[in-house]
Each structure stands twice: as structure tokens, then as C-alpha cells.
Amino acid sequence: MNTETSILIIYTGGTIGMMADPQTGALVPFDFQQINDQIPELKNMNFHLGFHCFDPILDSSNMKPEVWIELASIIEKNYEQYDGFVVLHGSDTMAYTASAVSFLLENLNKPVIFTGSQLPLGVLRTDGRENFITAIEIAAAIEEHTPVVPEVCIYFENSLMRANRTVKYNAEHFNAFVSANLPALANVGIYIRYNKNIILKPNFKKLKAHHQLDTNVAVLKLFPGISKAFVEAFLSIEGLKAVVLETFGSGNAPSETWFIEALQKAIDKGLIVLNVTQCLAGSVNQGKYETSLKLREMGVISGKDLTTEAALTKLMYLLASGLEKQKVIELLSVSLRGEMTV
């Protein structure tokens, strides 16, 4: 292996970086400077590994847009010194963070691989060891002087997935993530088999990291029996600029007059409404049924096969870009980082 390949490990927090205190038995963060003691296999990889630990470390439930921006800034600052990046992150909100980072890093030409675990590294049966080692190997993979996977990904339990196509769907199994609308970028067994036809190609432009996100965005999940009072109160949130509308099936919503009028009123006042499906797989197809035709007619934007995580973070990114509203609306229907099928 190439002894000059360098990978920066960024530990934000989460289960993977924990071990049992020998005195109390409680889970505590371990010192990544002593990582070779915990995972001696790393010595055999012949890579230069750098480490950056957040202080304080964060449970992924406490993740927020300011941290996403900080993470993108760390990668930007170290971009020229390292060949790839591995981000260790709690699994609960990993899909949100990784999706956001994919938008914040424009012209990314190096791997940024998120991984974590369901069991801590300090536990005998941990899934973290294999996830960590393989994520490093993928981040270091180069062919003809070019990174094999020059994009933001999530690696978990034998599958490498595009970050902004991925959701956490299982709280107990080691294969906690799924990319339902895009095949895995790589399948890992005895060999790492890359699906090169769907991996994003490098453009060799200079990295442009963005440092702003607009959090005046919310998610409205529809459910049978949703009330007029609730919807009207939600759409009247002060400062709200955009809503991710989680609809039924292929983009369907109630056709009751009060619901249509409430949405129409909000859109007329300037609210951007982006329609995504509650289903794990599939796509919004506004107009396929009468219950979605009215949404299309009033100006609700089809999110196609965007995940909620990607829809939310894409809106935050675009709203902070300084672009005119019409341009933002146009870009919501364009794949910027491979986040949707167009």
C-alpha cells in the first residue's frame, strides 16, 4: 500500500468512539492518540493517519447546523494536506450531517467517508472496528492518481452509500442504513467491489466550502386526521421560509378545501414547499393522482426521490446562498451533488 497516503480522522462523537471505564464500567470517550492500542490492525495499513477530535464531543442527537458548518470548515482547512477524510459520527443523525456536508463542499474531489457503529469500539462484539478500518481503506483508495470515491458517503456494515441518498432505518441491526433509491457505491466482502458507473466523477476544480445555512426550514409530516388548526399554525411559524412536506405514496395529500387553501395562502405569501414521500423507497410524481395534481397546480415543488434529510439540508443550503427565490426553486429540481434522480 502507498505509504504516503494520508487520511484525516475526524471524531465528532457517537458510539464508535466509546469504551468502558475499567473502574466504573460506564462508557467514556477513548483517546484517539492511542487508537493503535485499540485497533492494532491500523499499523498494517501503512497510511499516515491524522486525528481531529471535537471538544466537547457531541452525541449525534445534539447535532445542529453550526456543527455541520464547522465540520465542512475542518475539511476545507485540511483539504490539501490529506488524501481523504473519515468522519466518525453517531448514527442517529448521521444522514442529516453527511447530507449537509455534501452540499457545503462544492467541487469536492476527495473522499469524505462517514461511519460509526451500533456497539462501541471498546465492546468485544463491536461493529465499529470493521466499519472504521474499511472506511479508511475506501477513503485511501486511488486509481491512476485519482480517488476512487470523490464524494461524501456513508459506510456501514458492508455497504458504501452516497450520503445524501441514505437514511437510518434500523436502531438495532448492524446494517442500520439504507439507500433505497440508489444502489450501493460499493459492496464489501472479501473484496471491495466499486460500482464505478454510479460514483460521481471528479471535476478537478478548486474546493469551495460554504459557511452558511438558513435554518428557517421545517418538516411537515402529513397523517390521516391532521387538523386544520395544526396545519395553519405550522404554516404561520414566524420567519418560516420553506417546508419539506412529507406526503403519502407518490406525493399525495388531503384534497379537503381547508388544506388546499392553507397551503395556497402560505405559498402566495412566499413560502417554498418541497414535496417528498414518506415512503422509504420511490419517488414523488405530482399529478399521477388527483390528490397530488392540486399540489402541482398551486406551485408545490416535486422533491422526486429526495430523502427528507437531503431535502431539508438542501433547502438550508440554497436559502443561505443569496440566490433569488426563483433560482432556488429551479435548483431544487436539479441534482447538485447526486442527491436525486432527474
> Can you list the domains of the chain with their CATH numbers?
6-209 (3.40.50.1170), 217-331 (3.40.50.40)
Does residue 32 or residue 130 have the better pLDDT?
130
pLDDT for 147 beyond 50:
yes
pLDDT digit string, tens, across residues 40-85: 777 778 899 999 989 888 888 899 999 999 999 999 999 999 999 9
The pLDDT of residue 252 is 94
The contacts found for 201-204 with CB under 8 angstroms, 24 or more apart, are: 201/150, 202/109, 202/146, 202/147, 202/150, 203/107, 203/109, 204/109
**Closest by Cα among 97, 71, 104 to 166:** 97
- Which residue pairs from 156-161 have beta carbons closer than 8 angstroms and sit at least 24 positions apart in sequence? 156/91, 156/115, 156/116, 156/131, 157/127, 157/131, 158/187, 158/188, 158/189, 159/184, 159/186, 159/187, 159/188, 160/113, 160/184, 160/185, 160/186, 160/187, 160/188, 160/194, 161/185
Whether pLDDT at 1 is above 50: no
Query: Tens of pLDDT along 209-230?
Result: 999 999 999 999 999 999 999 9
Give the C-alpha separation, 60 to 43, whole Å: 29
Residue 13 backbone class (left: φ over 0; alpha: ψ -120 to 50; beta: rest)? left
Tell whether the torsion through CA atoms of 224, 230, 234 and 235 is positive or negative.
Answer: positive
Distance CA 192, CA 213 (A): 35
Given this model, what pLDDT does residue 287 score? 82
- 338 band by pLDDT with thresholds 50, 70 and 90: very high
**Digit-coded pLDDT (tens) for 79-93:** 999 999 999 999 999
Q: Is the pLDDT of residue 2 over 60?
A: no
Instruction: Decide if pLDDT at 339 tops 60.
Output: yes
Of 5, 15, 115, 277, the catalytic one is 15
Q: What are phi and psi of 45, to 5 degrees?
A: -80, -20
Residue with cell 395544526: 230
Q: Which residues pair with 86 in a beta bridge?
A: 9, 113
Known catalytic membership, residue 126? no
Rounded to whole angstroms, the Cα distance separating 180 from 104 reads 23
Separation of alpha carbons 307 and 246, rounded Å:
10
Nearest to 42 by CA among 11, 7, 81, 89: 7
Decide: residue 95, CB within 10 A, 0-12 exposed, 13-18 middle, 19+ buried.
buried
User: d(Cα 263, Cα 265) in Å, to the nearest integer?
Assistant: 5
